[in-house]
Amino acid sequence: MAALLRNFFFLFILASCTAQKASENVYQKTISLDTISVSAAYASPYQPSETRAFDLLHTKLDVRFDWNKQHLNGKAELQLKPYFYPINTLILDAKGFDLHAVSLQNNGCITALKHRYDGLEITIELDKTYSRKDTFKIFVEYTAKPNDLMVSGSDAIASGKGLYFIDPLDEDPEKPSQIWTQGETESSSCWFPTIDIPSEKMTQEISITVKEKYLTLSNGELIYQTENGDGTRTDIWAMNKQHAPYLTMIAVGDFSVIEDTWRDSIDVNYYVEKEYAPHAMQIFGKTPEMLECFSSVLGVDYPWVKYHQIVVRDYVSGAMENTSAVIHGGFVQQTAREMIDENNEDIISHELFHHWFGDLVTCESWSNLPLNESFATYGEYIWREHKHGRESADYHLQEMLSNYIYESQSSQEDMIRYYFDDKEDMFDGHSYSKGGRILHMLRKEVGDLAFYSSLEHYLTKHAYQSVEIHDLRIAFEEITGRDLNWFFNQWFLASGHPNLLIKHEYVDSTKTQSIIVEQKQTRDKTPIYRLPLAVDLYVNGGVQKETILVSERYNSFSFDVSQKPDLVNVDAEKMLLCEKNDKKSTQEWSFQYYNAPLYLDRFEAVVALGKKARKDSLAASVVLSALNDPFWKVRSIAIGNLEAIIGLYETQIKIDLIALASSDVNST
């Protein structure tokens, strides 16, 4: 699920970082490894991928609304076939319905079917045993009553009732009347009967009957509209490519529609409240460029028939990647003046990247959620890198790390989590922020060409399918020819992160530079990592580039150099997801600030020197210089340390602050 609002996004994601719930039961798993036995205790039950007894091929819905009662009156026609084994009983997810009819349609004949309904599932006795070569259609007539559901939400998705009526009686002058849906995780079955699991894929057609004054939106394309002569209109939306039921959406309301296109063939429209119509292009107008960026870098063109975005009131999450029809919360609607301080490009790019990772290729279970959310989070980095440059992207990368490290203080979980109490627990800083950082490390490990070639292969091989983490690994191995089990095991299938102590020692008599790297993380849940790292040695005006492999708890490396380096820059690409204590002198940090090439080099240096600036004049001079750094975040850190150096540079600080206040292009 995508709920990403730049600064608010990270707060939102951290808010969804719920600590693992206590459980009365401890679940034990024993694995036999030749002559040894490993036993692991879990506080939560094992969560397998759902067994697929049936394949849901197509869903056809006819929906109408009772605004007074806040009910949906629906007719559903589901085309299905047994997945593999012969079977005579069908179970459909259907939460909180009044059922009016359940029948089988065959050759024009309708046969009523016996069924049991417990308020959550319809258990249907079929008219015979069907084989995997058979297809059949089930018809369900029902009323969905979302407000009567006894369901709870989560920190990530505030409510789980699936269908929402906003000011249905038009009583609030500050709020428009709207209807919209939210399917993730398994709430589509709150408004239509389905097999509500992420591994299911279906095509669909939805007929929506509304008052003529309202617009509708759904997945796919609008294929037909008809006025009914009674003040209502029926819109028919068809989705001819398969996607998961949780990605199905409808929205109804009085919107302005601003039309845009991509490659002159894909409609890219923006649905906003009328007062925000003049600002819609500024809010969403980079979307076509994002479509081109992602299609180009992935080698797979945007795969859906349109890309529309709609803003609704009182949305229960940040945003949602419904296939071809994204819903955004009301915070996205801003005036031009408001967008000076903050825009929502991260959210918009996140939801769009989901249309490859999540919509085209979908996690087969919520345990594998990082295959959706980690990629969408990294999509933000890719967009920033394309549009705003690496410094902006690396700033975002550092924010991902900070958010994950904050969460890790109270919770450290496996990225691919097969043990949890509630699927909503998966929507946390691990699945988003940590996962984005892991993908960046994978990119640096294999190289850009191999990274994007592997993603193209993965997307092409598994298009319109569901996947687990090993499918991603195998795709990378098939392209690169490398065994990457070690990478996926330590980063995706284990918890925690490295905590590194880095020391440097130069021996003049032998002209040798030594680097000591200790892995200080505790061993109870966190592995000893295998960490290939780039090291830049700044010697005699040049850069000597080396690589090291940190693979033990204590690691020592030595390099021949012509003289004492001015700087030893371990993890020169600044790609590693870790906590580290790098024992550099003030002189080395100062040299790093002025000479190392990356934003994160300067960021690290100013953070380190800011702690020394009160008592160290060299550190203070770097902080002063950082007031004029080319990137705003470094300037901001410097401002935060001015109290420590005000006694040394009061006049210059005043000059610099006045200049920043009057001319800084970034208002943050």
State yes or no: pLDDT of 26 exceeds 90: no
**45-102 residue pLDDT tens:** 999 999 999 999 999 999 999 999 999 999 999 999 999 999 999 999 999 999 999 9
**Dist CA 466 CA 28 (whole Å):** 28
pLDDT score for 16: 34
Nearest to 448 by CA among 599, 598, 291, 297: 297
**535-547 residue pLDDT tens:** 999 999 999 999 9
For the chain, what is the mean pLDDT? Answer: 92
State yes or no: pLDDT of 10 exceeds 50: no
State the angle between helix axes of 632-640 and 599-610 in degrees (0 to 180), rounded to the nearest 10: 0
**219-247 residue pLDDT tens:** 999 999 999 999 999 999 999 999 999 99
State yes or no: pLDDT of 155 exceeds 70: no
- Comparing 144-153, 382-391, 634-643, the range with the smallest average pLDDT is 144-153
**412-446 residue pLDDT tens:** 999 999 999 999 999 999 999 999 999 999 999 99
Confidence of residue 38 (pLDDT cuts 50, 70, 90): very low
CA distances in angstroms from 378 to 138, 462, 474, listed in the order given: 41, 20, 20
**262-276 residue pLDDT tens:** 999 999 999 999 999
**Rg of the chain taking only CA atoms, in angstroms:** 28
**Dist CA 639 CA 352 (whole Å):** 35
Phi/psi class of residue 264: alpha, beta or left (left: φ > 0; alpha: ψ in -120 to 50)?
left
Task: Map residue 125 onto helix, strand or coil.
Answer: strand
Residue whose pair of structure tokens reads 């994007």 in the numeric block = 452
**CA distance between the termini of the chain:** 27
**Dist CA 544 CA 539 (whole Å):** 7
**Dist CA 207 CA 623 (whole Å):** 62
Nearest to 138 by CA among 100, 189, 92: 92
pLDDT score for 41: 55
CA 195 to chain centre: 24
State yes or no: pLDDT of 3 exceeds 90: no
Is pTM beyond 0.85? Reply is yes
**In terms of pLDDT, which residue wins out, 394 or 668?**
394
**Dist CA 623 CA 365 (whole Å):** 48
Q: What is the DSSP string of 540-568?
A: TTEEEEEEEEE-SSEEEEEEE-SS--SEE
Residues 354, 423, 43, 41: what is their CA dihedral angle, to the nearest 10 degrees? -50
Confidence of residue 40 (pLDDT cuts 50, 70, 90): low
